Amino acid sequence: MKIRFTLLIFISLLFASFFCLQAPVSGAQVVKPVKELKRDLFSVISLPDPIEGYNRVIFEFNDFLMVWFFDPLMTGYSFIVPKSGRKHIDMSIVNLEYFIHLVACLMQGEFKGALIETERFFINLTLGVGGIFDVAKSWFGLQPHTEDFGQAFAKWGIGPGFYFVLPIAGPSTFRDAIGMIFFVACHPITWIPVPGLGTFVFVNRMSLRVEQYMSIRDPALDKYESMKDMWYLNRKIEIENLDRSDHPYFTDDKGRF
């Protein structure tokens, strides 16, 4: 029974990884090289890594896929669908994730954020042509509140647990990995009976993520430690609802990577 339960959890997390890629949803955003990151107040808190051996194996597996499989494959897809088109497609998928953002906001008591997400959803669904254009932000100044279940669990006081690298999806924590299961269960793509839709969403989001990954990958550094520190820094900023634009290590106008 324990073996079956463990296998079920692993399969669920693997399935979740196809929907929970850490891809930029509003454009490919680039952080400064990891070598420029300093141990300031944002990054002094270390993340426990008791299964580092396993994590490094999965990390190398993911890195190999990125460099030798996904990068060449997505280069072809990117040639067919320009970057602007891929970004707008992903924006429409993010708009469909409204229910997830709504529930996560309510779980954290962020009622204003829940209201704004509701306004954004209906505005972008109609005026934004199904969410392809974020007119709620550009026309009405409504900033997105894309909260997730991992952030909600953190708000409840649940600690991150330990660092956990997922196949394909990449960096996570035990807390966020559990949140991914709920994410998939609530994701509209899971319930829309359109053959190939999930694969298309995965390919489109992965094409954005590959560009991002290759832009910050530095073979001269310990890629494992670099990616872990950079991911955790970004995740802490998300959980604490900090303004990335005020952080000195983010270089784009939206303050994300």
Residue 252 carries which side chain, given as an amino acid letter?
Answer: D
Distance of alpha carbon 90 from alpha carbon 73, whole angstroms: 18
pTM above 0.85, yes or no: no
pLDDT tens, 73-104?
Answer: 999 999 999 999 999 999 999 999 999 999 99
Strands, E, within 79-118: which ranges?
A: none
Q: Which residues of the chain have pLDDT under 50?
A: 2-20, 22-44, 248, 250-257
Distance of alpha carbon 213 from alpha carbon 23, whole angstroms: 9
Q: List residues bridging with 250 in a β-sheet.
A: 31
For residue 5, how many C-alpha atoms fall within 13 Å in the half-sphere facing its CB?
Answer: 2
The pair of structure tokens assigned to 96 is: 């469909």
Sketch the domain layout of the chain as residue ranges. Answer: 2-246
Q: List residues bridging with 173 in a β-sheet.
A: 163
pLDDT tens, 200-217?
Answer: 999 999 999 898 888 888
